[in-house]
Amino acid sequence: MAAIDLSDLRFWARPPAERARAFALLRAQPHPLYFRLPRVPFLRRDPGSWALVRHADVVEASRRPEIFSSEPSATSPTDMPGWMSGYFTSMIDMDDPRHAKIRRIISRAFTPKVLAAADDDIARRAARIVEELIAAGPGDFVAQVATRLPVEVICDMLGIPSRHHAQVVKSTNIVVGYTDPEYVGATADYTGAEVRVSPLRVIRVLTTVMLAGWRLHRLAARLGRRRRRTPADDLTSALVNANIDGERLSPREFAAFFLLLVVAGNETTRTAIAHGLKLFTDHPDQRRLLLEDFEGRIGGAVEEIVRHSSPVIFMRRNLTRDAEINGHHYRAGQKVTLFYASANRDEAVFADPDAFDITRSPNPHVGFGGPGPHFCLGAHLARREMTVMFRELFTRLPDIAAGEPDRLLSSFVNGCKRLPCTFTVPRTVPGEGTPGGDRSGTGPGRCRMTGRP
């Protein structure tokens, strides 16, 4: 137990199987682990947090937001300084009733009915992305496929022009990967027994993250001003012209929500798509099972990919008053960390939890968050994007396979920075690669597995 330090990045650099075994050991303990956070220059000293690693505890805390609050922060292990929180605090860090009012405005764009109407557009984008992958040849699956579909879709929903997509990806990589040296430089010295965090390194990290946030805020401000003058049918127009408690969102508030939607709208899905290809590569029996009845099994496959990979590893909650969960007492003012990655491998809920099984049923995973007001608003969209992307990939490139991922060093997102992929370039057939062309012998632009467009 002493070797398990959830605040130490060296733990999160371990292979996934090692981390899974560590969480299994924590779930077997009679009481939750309290882990202390390292002292970081320029940030308020933080005593630490309780680690909720069992499925029942994560679900219970999620269902009681009046006690397990998202304010002042749900995504940062420690409180951000005030000069940063204005850039990054948004709906995910709020409680009801304000959270509910803003969520209602945004949720109109994520209803199943609205998303169903977007299916054809998502399918066309996926087809084009796979065409371009084939033209380019085997390479980095994250950059060539997994990142592109969710970024294009969420940017289109917000009204962000395509010329800004590359900057959106670059900035969100930094915001999410704020502990990975590739994006922000070295954050700490781990060579000794004690983790040492130097002031100069902290300044560099904070400056890099702030600049990334500032670039997204600048993009939001420009787009917001245009949509106030000339509203369009997009989420930006809905937000900047919304009336919330008799007031409109300030430019900074809107920019913070904009940043949240840009980050959340692509990070979870691209991570799940990348992990999905790796899982189907490592488990060819599950790929064969899927392809035997794609439409009948893709729903279960998507849920199992999200459960097994847990794209978002944790969220934080802050106690507003004393509470008890499953026999353990928590005091007002303390913090708890909901480890979704651990809850999704809880042997008390999931039989053979480390196995990848696309027929798993029931599958009450918390990969989109626990039940309650903060359940992922974009879950329906993520499921549709994953379904469409794997349909297109396995139709056009049935032997596509993933190599070993270059993993993001993060305790927050189970990301893949790069993932090499290989495949047999398909033989060109008449009409292939052209709009409405017959790529499969089943009719214009139809999937050979399903006959669907």
DSSP label at residue 119:
H
Percent over 90 (pLDDT), the chain:
68
Sorting pLDDT into bands at 50, 70 and 90, what band is 190? Answer: low
Note whether 420 and 413 are within 8 A (CB).
no
CB-based contacts of 256, cutoff 8 Å, min separation 6: 86, 87, 88, 89, 90, 217
Q: Alpha-carbon distance 236 to 158, whole Å?
A: 5
Output the pLDDT for position 428.
Answer: 65
The predicted-structure confidence for 60-100, as pLDDT tens digits, reads as follows 999 999 999 999 999 988 887 777 777 788 889 999 998 99
Burial class (CB in 10 A: 0-12, 13-18, 19+), 385: buried
339-384 pLDDT, tens digit each = 999 999 999 999 999 999 999 999 999 999 999 999 999 999 999 9
Helix (H, G, I), strand (E, B) or coil at 189: strand
* 388-415 pLDDT per residue, tens: 999 999 999 999 999 999 999 999 999 9
pTM for the model stands at: 0.91
Query: What residues have CB less than 8 Å from 17, skipping those under 6 apart?
Result: 354
Candidates 8, 4, 9, 37; CA nearest to 23 is 4
What are 101-123's pLDDT values in tens digits?
888 888 877 888 878 878 899 99
Structure tokens that stand for 243 in this block: 């009336």
The answer to whether the bond into 199 is cis (omega within 30° of 0) is no
Pure H helices in 230-349: 235-240, 251-282, 284-292, 294-309, 340-343
| Structure confidence by residue, pLDDT tens digits, 18-31 | 999 999 999 999 99
In the predicted structure, residue 434 carries a pLDDT above the cut 60: no
Q: Taking 70 as the threshold, does the pLDDT of residue 1 lie above it?
A: no
What confidence tier does 168 reach under pLDDT thresholds 50, 70, 90? very high
Whether residue 257 is predicted with pLDDT greater than 90 in this model: the reply is no
Which pLDDT belongs to residue 437? Answer: 38
Question: pLDDT tens-digit profile of 303-317?
Answer: 999 999 999 999 999
For the segment 260-305, what is each residue's pLDDT rounded down to a tens digit?
Answer: 999 988 888 999 999 999 999 999 999 999 999 999 999 999 999 9
Q: pLDDT tens digit string along 128-161? A: 999 999 999 999 999 999 999 999 999 999 999 9
Determine the Cα–Cα distance for residues 128 and 149; give it in Å rounded to an integer: 10
Say what the pLDDT of residue 432 is: 47
